[in-house]
Structures are given as structure tokens and as C-alpha cells.
Amino acid sequence: MRTKFLYSVSILFIFSLSVCAQSFQVKGKVVDKEDNDPLGGVNLFIEQLKIGATTNSNGEFEFKNLPQGKYSLKVSYIGHKTVVQNIIIPLEEKLIIALEEGSVDLQEIIVTGNPLSSDPKEFSQSALAIANLELQLKRGSNLGTTLNYQPGISMRSNGIAAARPVIRGFSNNRILILENGLRMGDLSNTSDDHGVTSDGSTPEKIEIVRGPASLLYGSNALGGVINIITEAIPNYISHGLDGTVNFSRNSVNNELSGSADIHFGFDRFALHGNYFNRNGKDYTDGNSKIVSNTDQKSDGFQFGFSFIPSFGLAGLSFSNFNNSYGIPYNSSDENAEPIRIEMKKNEIRFLAERQLLNSFIESMSMKAGYQQYEHSEIIRATGEVGTSFGLKTFSADLSFKHQQIDSAFQGVFGFWGLKQNYTVKGEESFTPDADYSSLAFYFFEQIRISKFSLQFGGRIENNQIKIPASTISDTFFPAENKNYNSVSGSLGIVYNLSEEISFFSNIANAFRAPTIEELSSYAIHEATVTFDIGDRNLKNENNVGLDLGFRLRKPHHIVELSGYYNAISNYIFRKPTELYYDPSAKDNRFNKTTGFPVFQYSQSNAIIYGFEVKTQYEFTRYIATTVIFDYVRGEQKFGEENLPQMPPLRFSIEQRYTTDEYWVGFNWKLTMEQDQTAPNETKTKGYGLVDLYAGVKILTGEFIHMINLKIDNLLDQPYKEHLSALKEFAYMPGRNIQLSYKFLF
């Protein structure tokens, strides 16, 4: 039914509009600014027309059938700074575009949390984007390893397969992971053993907004938003057939992975397809010990198509994701046994955009998605399914951008809805089923006055959770309907002291409704080997966050410094107790000696504060240095107890040498000990890691070959991450040599 509805909407959207324009051609050449050598494989994109092209080995490109008008041409190339050039069609002469080598890129616009696509220097929150060469060098087998050691971002892990980013100490349900602006529709935010349903090989770009960001995206964005941008629904028309093929091999777990990404365009239509496959065995730690039950096997595909006239876009995509991986266990624990998780997700997405409306409403956008997700926790020795989870998610967002008022006032408003059906089955079920529903209205406005940019907005949202009657661990729980209403808002200001220096400040409140796990857990969770107890009286979390920051953006030098303070009312946390649960006991199953450790969800007012620094400096056109420094502290507001699972103080320095043909670099990462822990939480020692990488780019006719060698943990050091679920009994991965090959055609 939903598929028919989306299809009908797209047909009506496409054929309700018409366009007529005279066609022109644009030809040009892209060269290196220093020596005028032609650059092959450069990506060019005309934003208003959604048309892309790539230069050949002679640096030449061509656009055909373009209507007359004024457009922005974005030119990007690995190892070079992005250029955005205004062009007027028809052109009087051939375009010659010169690109400068370097790592400092001032033209990368962040769209997440920035619906007006403002210049990054006018954004009142801390944000960053990872793309191009940076993404290729940092890309891991999952989202957590890819983003780890970005400023303010650490990693919560349970082996290699199950790793999720942590932003400024916020994890799980307090950060929101999106794919192309919509929620993932999985259960990665509920437990340490649940992986993210996104493979590390698929993103084209990853954007992160740090700090409260619930205005546009709703509940669960107290700590920030991560947006994985893919080309599932193609947003540009390529000339004919082009794409990439990737292969890589990791030594630490004998992992072999491959992926293919293909685009095809004709007339006003675009098609995109992607396939990936990843297969890895148990990993080896820094003590040359194999960590059992850490293998992984995953595969999936995406297929999408779109119709892209000059006035908008309409498209659909279909995707499939399958993942099978083990959860590491403590072999010395008599209650522990190897568990394997079998996970799959099918998804359909719809996108429609309409521009040039010539009214107060300048443009509109509608995106919607339906995901059907399920995973089973299987006892490896017997093949018996302990618990099966299911999640069906439908979400939609309809937004409108209005024209500028008095040449200074511009904004966006919209409506958002979410419907989820959550099911748990099996003898080991530790929560009842639940139905979630959410509705919201939001707005975001920006005013530019002289050197000031003021941003403000608000959101009204209702969240409902319906919990049926159930019996868990021989205990009966009645049915309940939970209703959580919230109003959130933000106010940000940016003062541009000059074209290069700006100061920003943002105050926002964000909220989060409790999850079914926090409300209703009361059983053994086999995958984490714990007995979890929820609390049905938990209240809405509310966070008032303040950001203060400084930006310096020069052609060869970038500095961003930000400090933050979050005051959270009714902060929910899962804390260890002194009790154990013994299921074999006849009378008193809770004791202080043997069984499964008992964890209980509790609530308290809390504060989380800290700072982060990132600076990049280009000494020459080839040599660049990046320094990152971050610190976070979390504690209960009324008491002396620390909050659990807070990342320690970290520092990293990266030195890189990049040319048109090759690159080489190293990264030294230093993590201090974490001794500011919650009661019954294990402390961890500090450590230092050294990573190396080198790569080469080879042109053969119309094709590009990129070969990259990366060595993580060069010294094969044994270490334990404080946020790792394995820190009690296992070390993190040891030395890993990764060899990858990328073919562009």
C-alpha cells in the first residue's frame, strides 16, 4: 500500500509540471593551478540543473542540452580544494578552471542542520563533513571506526561489527544517525551489541552536527546528528555510464571486501546501483591473541532512479542490507556463551523536490521511507534462537522554504511524522512489544544584519508509546500507554569579525522520550550477558545546551575551537549494581555472589561539558598538519557521582604529504587514562597509537586507478577503549594492514 502511494505521488509530481527551454553546450578544461597540467577524473556538478560530468585524461569536460541561465558550477577533485564558479549560459568562450592542491577546503557546504545551505562560517553550531580523500583515508568497515578520533567523536564498540559513534559523551539514543536525512530504521541505538545497518563502503559523504539538534530531526538528537549521505536516489544526471569498483583486504581479521557503484544518465533521467560484500574472521589483538566470536559477513545493494527536470526532482530507491556477526564473550564466565546475530533490513525511499515556485513558498521537499528490519540472537553452539527482534518504520518529512523578506529574513518550516512497530519474540525476550508514533511541526529562520547572522527555530512534538500486557521472567506487567509532549527551541548568533574570523554561540533545548528497553526491560540479555531492569516511571529527558566557539578560515589555515555545557533534566542511564541474577535459584534469584550482573536504568539530573579543537595548516601546497584535541566530562548534577561511559581526554596529530599522483602520511593518537568513572565502572589506562598510510593515483586513458596502503596500530600495541563492551576481558584489534584498490570509469 505504501509503495503504491509513493509511486502515485511521484507520478503526479512529475507530470503536473512542464518545462520548455532552448539547449546549449558548455565545454571546458580543468588544470592544475601551479603547472597547468590537465587533471583527469575531476567531478563537476551544476547544482541548479542536477547535472554532473567528469573530465577525461586530457582534463576536458562537456555538458550538453543546457538551458539558458545563470548557474553555480562546483568542481571537486581528490587532494585539491573545491571551487564553485558562477557561469552564465550561453558561454562566449571555453571554460578553463584551475584547481589548487591542498587539504584546507572552504567550499564544502554542510546541509545537515543547515536547511538554507548557508556558508559554513555562518553556521551557529559545531559541524564537520568528511568526503573525498579524507573519507577514503578514514573509511573503516563500520561507521564507528570511520568517525573515531574526529573532534568530539569517539566510539562505542562490541567487537569490529558492532561499533557506533559517540558525540561529546552522548551515545545510543541521544545521537541520531540518519541516511540522506531520514532515520535508519534499525536498533543500533538500543544496545552495545546491535550494529548500524550501513556498510562502510557506501557513503559518499558523512556530515556531523555536534550539540543539540532536535529542531529539524526530532527526539533523540540531544548530542547531535550524523547524516550518512549516499546516492541511493541519484540527485544528478551523469553523461552515460560511470562508476567505481572497490576492493580491500584487512590483515587483523583476514577481511576481504568489495563494492561496485554505477551511475547511468540519459535525457532527464538518472539511475544508480550499488552492491557490497564483506567477509571477515575473528580479529587478533595487540597481544597476538585471537578474540573469539568476532567474525562478520555482510552484503547488500541499493537501486535508485530519478527524474530530474530543471524545476525539481522525483525519485525512488530500494535497498537491502544483511549482516551476520559474532558477539565476543568472556570464556572464563560460566554464564557466557557465544552468540551470533543475524540481521537484515529492506527499505524503500521516496524523494520529491520542487523549485522555482515563483511565490512566497520558494521551494518544497518531501522525503519518506519505509524500513522493515529484523534480527535474531542465536546461540552459536546449538543454533537455537534466543531472541528475535522486529522493527517496521515509516517516516516522512515535508518542508517548505520561503523567500527572503526584506533581503535579510529567510527560513524553512515543515511537518514530520514517524510510525514504528517493535516486536520481541523468544524465551529470552527481555522487553514486551511496543508501538511508537510521533508527529511534529518545526520552523527554522535566519536573519543577516551587517556582520551578524541570527538563527532561531522551534519544534512542537508528540511521542506516544503503547506497551501491551506481558509476562517477562515469570513476572506480569500490565499494559500501559505512555504520552510525551515537548517543545524545543534554539537561538544562535554568528558575528563575522572579518571574512576570515567569526565567533558563534548557540543555545538550544532538546528532548528524548524513554525507549522500551529503558522502560520495560526485566530479563537476561544474552548478547551482553547481563540482567537488565527498566523503570516504567521514567520521564522525558530534556537537555539545555550552550555552545561557544571561534572559527578562523584562511585559504591555507583553518582553526575551530568550541566549548559546550549541557544541563540535562531526568538524564537516563544504565548503571551496574552490586547484585547478580541467578536463574537456577528457586527462591531468591537476586544475590551478591553469583549469576548475571544486574544493570538498572535510573534517572538523575546531570551535566555534561567539555571542549574540542581542530586546526589544519598547510605549510606548502603539498604538506599539511592537522591537530585535534577534545575533552568531555559527565557527572550527576546533585551529587558527586560521575556518569558512566564518558570518553577520556584525547589528542591527535596528523602529518600529510599530497600531490596529484600520490599521498603519504602518519597519525599519532594519544588517549589518556579514564579514572573519573561511575560507581562499579572499570577504569582504563591511557595509550598511544601510530597509524601510517600511503597511496597512488594512476591514469590509464579514460580510467583512474587508486591504490592505498594503510597500517593502523603500527606498533601492535595492546590497549583497551574505555567505551568498549569488551574491556573487562579483551583488548582492541592489534596491527592491521589494509590494502585497497579503487577503479573509476
Instruction: Give per-residue pLDDT as tens, 369-396.
Output: 999 999 999 998 888 898 899 999 999 9
Query: What are the C-alpha distances in Å from 156 to residues 171, 645, 730?
Result: 8, 9, 15
Instruction: Name the range with the highest mean pLDDT among 461-470, 521-530, 700-709.
Output: 461-470
Instruction: Give per-residue pLDDT as tens, 126-176.
Output: 988 888 788 888 888 889 999 999 999 999 999 888 899 999 999 888 999
Position 14 scores a pLDDT of 43
Residue with grid cell 524553512, as numbered in its chain: 412
What does the DSSP assignment read for 272-299? EEEEEEEEE---BBTTS-B-TT--EEEE
Least confident of 92-101, 446-455, 551-560: 92-101
pLDDT at residue 1 tops 70: no
Position 9 scores a pLDDT of 46
Neighbours of 449 (CB within 10 A): 9
Measured between alpha carbons, how far is 699 from 38 in angstroms, rounded to an integer?
11
Residue 733: asked if its preceding bond is cis (omega within 30°), the reply is: no
Instruction: Tell me which CATH code domain 2-99 carries.
Output: 2.60.40.1120
Q: What mean pLDDT do residues 211-240 have?
A: 87
pLDDT at residue 85 tops 70: yes
Query: What are the C-alpha distances in Å from 18 to residues 74, 194, 309, 312, 354?
Result: 27, 47, 8, 11, 12
pLDDT at residue 656 tops 70: yes
Portions of the chain given CATH number 2.40.170.20: 120-744
pLDDT at residue 710 tops 80: yes
Measured between alpha carbons, how far is 688 from 674 in angstroms, rounded to an integer?
14
Burial label, 275 (beta-carbon count in 10 A; 0-12, 13-18, 19+)? middle
What is the pLDDT of the chain when averaged over all its residues? 89
Least confident of 253-257, 427-431, 669-673: 427-431
Measured between alpha carbons, how far is 199 from 209 in angstroms, rounded to an integer?
21
Q: Taking phi first (over 0 means left), then psi (-120 to 50 degrees means alpha), and beta for anything else, what does residue 555 get?
A: alpha
Q: Which residues of 334-372 are buried (b: 16+ CB within 10 A; e: fewer)?
A: ebbbebbbebbbbbbbbbbbbbebeeeebbbbbbbbbbb
Position 285 scores a pLDDT of 95
Measured between alpha carbons, how far is 653 from 668 in angstroms, rounded to an integer?
5
Pairing assessment for the beta strands 596-618 and 530-533 based on DSSP bridges: parallel
The values of phi and psi at residue 214, to 5°, are -90, -5
22: confidence class by pLDDT, cuts 50, 70, 90 = low
Measured between alpha carbons, how far is 392 from 2 in angstroms, rounded to an integer?
12
Position 639 scores a pLDDT of 67
Q: For residue 174, what is the DSSP state?
A: G
pLDDT at residue 617 tops 50: yes
560: confidence class by pLDDT, cuts 50, 70, 90 = very high
Residue with grid cell 550494529, as numbered in its chain: 195
Q: What mean pLDDT do residues 303-311 have?
A: 90
Instruction: Give per-residue pLDDT as tens, 229-245.
Output: 998 999 888 878 889 99
Q: What is the 3-state secondary structure (H, E, C) of 340-387?
A: EEEEEEEEEEEEEEECCCCCCEEEEEEEEEEEEEEEEEEECCCCCEEE
Higher pLDDT, 48 or 145: 145
Position 450 scores a pLDDT of 87
107: confidence class by pLDDT, cuts 50, 70, 90 = low
pLDDT at residue 81 tops 90: no
Q: What mean pLDDT do residues 25-31 have?
A: 89
Q: For residue 172, what is the DSSP state?
A: G
Position 676 scores a pLDDT of 93
Q: What mean pLDDT do residues 106-133 have?
A: 82
pLDDT at residue 15 tops 50: no
Portions of the chain given CATH number 2.60.40.1120: 2-99
Position 16 scores a pLDDT of 40
In this structure, what C-alpha cell is assigned to residue 514? Answer: 524513554
Residue with grid cell 524500513, as numbered in its chain: 371
**Could you give the percent of the chain with pLDDT greater than 90?**
55
Residue 138: its H or E element:
helix 132-138
The fold of 120-744 is Maltoporin; Chain A (2.40.170)
Neighbours of 36 (CB within 10 A): 11
**Do 486 and 540 touch, CB atoms closer than 8 A?**
yes
Q: What mean pLDDT do residues 495-519 have?
A: 92
